Amino acid sequence: MDTIAKPVSLREHVVPVEAAEHVVAAHWLKSTLALALADGRVLRWREGESELIEAHAGGVLSACCDGERLITGGDDGRVVALTAEGQATELARDEKRRWIDSVTLSASGSLAWNAGRSVHARDDKGKVKSLDVASTPQGLVFAPKGYRLAIAQMNGVSLWYPNTEAKPECLEWKGSHLDVTWSPDGRFVVSAMQENALHGWRLGEKPSHMRMTGYPSKPRSLSWSHDGLWLASSGADAAIIWPFQGDGPQGKAPRECGARHAKVTRVAFHPRALVLAVGYDDGCILMIRLTDASELLVRPAQKGSGITAFAWDKPGKRLAFGTEDGAAGVLTLPAAG
Amino acid sequence: MSEKIPVTVLTGYLGAGKTTLLNRILTEDHGKKFAVIVNEFGETGIDGDLVVGADEEVFEMNNGCICCTVRGDLIRILDGLMKRKGKFDAIIVETTGLADPAPVAQTFFVDQDVGDATKLDAVVTVTDAKWLRERLKDAPEAKNQIAFADVIILNKTDLVSPEELAAVEAAIRAINPYAKLHRTTRCDLPIDQLLDRNAFDLDRILDIEPDFLEAGHHHHHSDEVRSLSFTIPGDVDPEKFMPWINDLSQAQGPNILRSKGILAFKDEPRRFVFQGVHMILDGDLQRDWKSGETRNSRLVFIGRDLDEAELRKGFLACAA
């Protein structure tokens, strides 16, 4: 038995996946990995076997997944669904071929997407409702429960019940809101802003504001911990993790994990443990345990290969990552013991 | 670090010939591939895989700078395009005839992701020789577009007499004597006169030398938008100059459309070169002054309601 302490690393547990193109998003369809690529194709990968599927004419701009199907939005104005078996179906097409900047799915299978300033929501029975908003939304997310959609746009986030005639509720805050996320318990809505900040609202009769500032760049990647008590974010030289216990992070300091001389571009919490995958613009990936801030190296820095996408599989055994130059990979966590 | 993608901004009043020019750029055999960001997508007769519709979504940055407006849609679209690096060599942004070029230009200085991936190459303004003088009277946007331009295409020259042409050129020069001016009929000029201008490149700012050198040629008084140029025959004191130019751009930023300068700092062998768009200033020490090159300090402002006497006094007080 080797008793000399080795630098802790998970590197040898990573299998490369050659995507050759900028990876826009990564998702697991059960045990099949789907990488949505900037050239409009989707790479299907399963145990070392891969296949490319043409999904969009130009490029994939957005993608989401419910574990059964991958939904992609493209710059050809189309919304496409892809199964684990690789079967592609067009769900919607914009007549004016506007970009589909955002797609999102709810837990019950409802789908929403935008085409320019028009937002469309399709419930699980297939009924489509549409809403025109003041500026092109880049962030859409459904509430964890109920058929309600948050729409990030200029000067705030709108909360829309697509199946009612009621005017959307507007959570106002000056500036441009890019991405939006809803806390798993439904109590908080948080947006990522152009102004290098997060802005949060605690929902209720009178929504209260939470300002989370101090980022040197835009925090474009957000991830909730499995217990919903922490929100990790990119945009700084460390992962910034805000506490959402009780009334939320207002007045509290965030945790900072994995500080390096590089910018964090992606974060993804493990689906069952307080472990965070952190990807940097220099290509490095660290796995960080929140309880003791211990770090494991998953991928060393690699020039021109900044991390662009993460996906944990449902059991939390495998982490897929995508990069700017297409050098993707899959980490399989070694069995404990 | 990889090469930044050059971006050319195409402005011009309605009907001046922007679409004609855009089609020339896209169809001419120059071996380059362009991504084009257009307005009124699908209605301009320009189509292709890399043609993207924009919505001119201007918003104010939450940074305490009142004139710091940027184009949110442009940031979003450039972010999307940058994932497809290698598919195109350059980007052209068309603006509507009514658009103010400032938010477009400011987007490249204010948004870090955009600034890291792309560089603003030049603002090209297409004008109509027959109607420009009318537009300058009734449309402030037309004036801004001339003031902002690095390259001006004076189009439809076949529709006016030589006297009218001289008059319209004088009107342009009164606002902006520094832009490269091309006379065309149907926007027929070599594409290399439009692209790779490096007009916003601090290394190339010497190109601001106006076509006619003496400031005395600006015989206009009625027009509110005009250009002013000041020279100190020698060095300036950076301890005086930097606070002055910062205060000035804060106080008068809304009125200063563009500013450029090359300065000789005391005891500094390198030239200090800067440029600004409204309140946003971008400056750096560049190459050494060459032997035989006169160490002069020179500033140019293009703007609205500029107080010439006050600006001159302020600048001259910065002399070392």
pLDDT at B223 over 60: no
pLDDT at B67 over 70: no
The reply to whether B152 and B298 lie within a common domain is: no
> Mutation test of the interface with chain A: which of B1, B33, B52, B62, choosing the one with the most A Cβ atoms within 10 A?
B62
The reply to whether B51 and B182 lie within a common domain is: yes
B200, B232, B264: which is the final residue of a domain? B200
Do A88 and A82 meet the contact criterion of CB atoms below 8 Å apart? yes
pLDDT tens digits along B8-23: 999 998 888 888 888 8
Average of per-residue pLDDT across B53-67: 76
Selected residue with higher pLDDT from A322 and B221: A322
CB contact under 8 A, B111 and A304: no
Of B49, B59, B111, the CB nearest to A154: B59
Distance from the Cα of A195 to chain B's closest Cα (Å) equals: 7
B200, B234, B253: which is the final residue of a domain? B200
Whether B214 maps to a domain, the answer reads no
CB contact under 8 A, B41 and A61: no
Whether B210 maps to a domain, the answer reads no
Would strands A285-289 and A275-280 be described as parallel, antiparallel, or unpaired?
antiparallel
Alpha-carbon distance A111 to A121, whole Å?
Answer: 6
Residue A219 forms contact with B (CB below 8 Å): no
CB contact under 8 A, A59 and B112: no
Helix or strand (DSSP H, E) at A232: strand A230-233
The reply to whether B48 and B165 lie within a common domain is: yes
User: What's the domain range around B155?
Assistant: 5-200
Residue of B nearest to A323 (CA): B83
Beta strands per DSSP E along chain B? 5-12, 34-38, 51-53, 58-60, 69-71, 90-94, 118-128, 151-155, 180-183, 225-232, 256-264, 270-277, 280-288, 297-304
This prediction has a pTM of 0.88
User: Cβ contacts (< 8 Å) between B84 and chain A: which residues?
Assistant: 22, 38-39, 58-59
CB contact under 8 A, A57 and B52: no
Q: Which of residues 136-175 of B touch A (CB under 8 A)?
A: none
Task: With H, G, I as helix, E, B as strand and everything else as coil, classify residue A163.
Answer: coil
Average of per-residue pLDDT across B251-269: 90
Alpha-carbon distance A160 to A104, whole Å?
Answer: 14
Whether B119 maps to a domain, the answer reads yes
Average of per-residue pLDDT across B165-173: 93
Query: In the structure, what pLDDT confidence band is assigned to residue B151 with cuts at 50, 70 and 90?
Result: very high
Start-end of H helices in B61-159: 72-82, 101-110, 112-117, 132-138, 140-148
Q: Which long-range contacts (CB under 8 A, 24 or more apart) does B241-250 make?
A: B241/B265, B241/B318, B244/B314, B244/B315, B244/B317, B244/B318, B245/B274, B245/B281, B246/B281, B248/B311, B248/B314, B249/B276, B249/B278, B249/B279, B249/B280, B249/B281, B250/B279
Task: With H, G, I as helix, E, B as strand and everything else as coil, classify residue B300.
Answer: strand
CB contact under 8 A, B55 and A217: no
The full 3-state SS of A32-93, as one line of letters, equals EEEEEECCCEEEEEECCEEEEEECCCCCEEEEEECCCEEEEEECCCEEEEEECCCCEEEEEE
pLDDT at B140 over 90: no
Res B48: pLDDT: 63
> Mutation test of the interface with chain B: which of A35, A54, A176, choosing the one with the most B Cβ atoms within 10 A?
A176
Distance from the Cα of A256 to chain B's closest Cα (Å) equals: 23
CB contact under 8 A, A116 and B112: no
Query: In the structure, what pLDDT confidence band is assigned to residue B279 with cuts at 50, 70 and 90?
Result: confident
CB contact under 8 A, A194 and B50: no
Q: What are phi and psi of B171, to 5 degrees?
A: -65, -40
Residue of A nearest to B43 (CA): A96
Residue B113 forms contact with A (CB below 8 Å): yes
Tens digit of pLDDT at every position of chain A (337 positions): 444 444 578 999 999 999 999 999 999 999 999 999 999 999 999 998 999 999 999 899 999 999 999 999 999 999 999 999 999 999 999 998 899 999 999 999 999 999 999 999 999 999 999 999 999 999 999 999 989 999 999 999 999 999 999 999 999 999 999 999 999 999 999 999 999 999 999 999 888 999 999 999 999 999 999 999 999 999 999 999 999 999 899 889 999 999 999 999 999 999 999 999 999 999 999 999 999 999 999 999 999 999 999 999 999 999 999 999 999 999 999 976 4
- Give the dihedral of Cα atoms B218, B219, B222, B223; nearest 10 deg: -20
The reply to whether B143 and B241 lie within a common domain is: no
- Give the dihedral of Cα atoms A271, A273, A274, A275; nearest 10 deg: -70
Of A22, A99, A154, the CB nearest to B52: A99
Task: With H, G, I as helix, E, B as strand and everything else as coil, classify residue B115.
Answer: helix
Of B2, B53, B111, the CB nearest to A98: B53
Whether B283 maps to a domain, the answer reads yes
Average of per-residue pLDDT across B65-69: 72
Residue of B nearest to A235 (CA): B113
Residue B83 forms contact with A (CB below 8 Å): yes
Do B182 and B192 meet the contact criterion of CB atoms below 8 Å apart? no
Do B317 and B248 meet the contact criterion of CB atoms below 8 Å apart? no
The reply to whether B175 and B51 lie within a common domain is: yes
Of A24, A138, A155, the CB nearest to B83: A24
Count the neighbouring beta carbons within 10 Å of the beta carbon of residue A273.
Answer: 14
The reply to whether B295 and B172 lie within a common domain is: no
Alpha-carbon distance A24 to A44, whole Å?
Answer: 14
The reply to whether B93 and B191 lie within a common domain is: yes
Residue A96 forms contact with B (CB below 8 Å): yes
User: Cβ contacts (< 8 Å) between B72 and chain A: which residues?
Assistant: 135-136, 154, 176, 194
Least confident among A300-309, B122-131, B197-206: B197-206
The reply to whether B71 and B128 lie within a common domain is: yes
pLDDT at B56 over 90: no
Distance from the Cα of B62 to chain A's closest Cα (Å) equals: 6
Judge if ipTM > 0.85.
Answer: yes
CB contact under 8 A, A22 and B83: yes
Residue A78 forms contact with B (CB below 8 Å): no
The reply to whether B23 and B157 lie within a common domain is: yes
User: Cβ contacts (< 8 Å) between B62 and chain A: which residues?
Assistant: 174-175, 193, 195
Give the angle subtended at the CA of B129 by the CAs of B126 and B131, to the nearest 5°: 95
Residue B235 forms contact with A (CB below 8 Å): no
Sheet containing A255-257: order of strands:
A222-224, A230-233, A239-243, A255-257
Find the length of chain B.
320
CB contact under 8 A, A154 and B42: no
- Choose among B129, B152, B46: nearest CA to B92: B46
CB contact under 8 A, B63 and A195: yes
Q: Which domains does chain A have, with CATH numbers?
A: 220-337 (2.130.10.10)
CB contact under 8 A, B55 and A136: yes
CB contact under 8 A, A195 and B62: yes
Residue of B nearest to A75 (CA): B52
User: Cβ contacts (< 8 Å) between A193 and chain B: which residues?
Assistant: 62
The structural domain count of chain B equals 2
Query: In the structure, what pLDDT confidence band is assigned to residue B218 with cuts at 50, 70 and 90?
Result: very low
Give the angle subtended at the CA of A84 by the CAs of A80 and A90, to the nearest 5°: 15
Distance from the Cα of B83 to chain A's closest Cα (Å) equals: 6
Count the neighbouring beta carbons within 10 Å of the beta carbon of residue A204.
Answer: 8
Whether B21 maps to a domain, the answer reads yes
Do A233 and A218 meet the contact criterion of CB atoms below 8 Å apart? no
Do B102 and B120 meet the contact criterion of CB atoms below 8 Å apart? no
Of B72, B77, B84, the CB nearest to A194: B72
Res B215: pLDDT: 43
Least confident among A301-315, B104-118, B209-223, B303-317: B209-223
Average of per-residue pLDDT across B166-195: 89
User: Cβ contacts (< 8 Å) between B55 and chain A: which residues?
Assistant: 116-117, 135-136
Average of per-residue pLDDT across B51-56: 84
CB contact under 8 A, B41 and A98: yes
The reply to whether B31 and B83 lie within a common domain is: yes
Whether B106 maps to a domain, the answer reads yes
Whether B17 maps to a domain, the answer reads yes
User: Cβ contacts (< 8 Å) between B52 and chain A: which residues?
Assistant: 75, 99
Longest pairwise C-alpha distance within chain A: 69
The reply to whether B76 and B165 lie within a common domain is: yes
Least confident among A43-47, A150-154, B233-237, B287-291: B287-291
Res A29: pLDDT: 96
Reduced DSSP (H G I as helix, E B as strand, rest coil) percent helix, strand, coil of chain B, to 5: 35, 30, 40
Distance from the Cα of B99 to chain A's closest Cα (Å) equals: 17
Please give the DSSP secondary-structure letter assigned to residue A284. Answer: -
Start-end of H helices in B216-270: 238-252
Please give the DSSP secondary-structure letter assigned to residue A186. Answer: S
Report residue B235 CA to chain centroid gap. Answer: 27
CB contact under 8 A, A38 and B84: yes
Interhelix angle B101-110/B72-82, rounded to 10 degrees, is: 50
Task: With H, G, I as helix, E, B as strand and everything else as coil, classify residue B222.
Answer: coil
Selected residue with higher pLDDT from A256 and B260: A256
Residue B59 forms contact with A (CB below 8 Å): yes
Res B32: pLDDT: 85
Do A81 and A93 meet the contact criterion of CB atoms below 8 Å apart? no
User: Cβ contacts (< 8 Å) between A138 and chain B: which residues?
Assistant: 76
The DSSP code sequence of A121-138 is EE-TT--EEEEE-SS---
Whether B208 maps to a domain, the answer reads no
CATH at B167: 3.40.50.300
The reply to whether B74 and B162 lie within a common domain is: yes
Alpha-carbon distance A289 to A294, whole Å?
Answer: 5
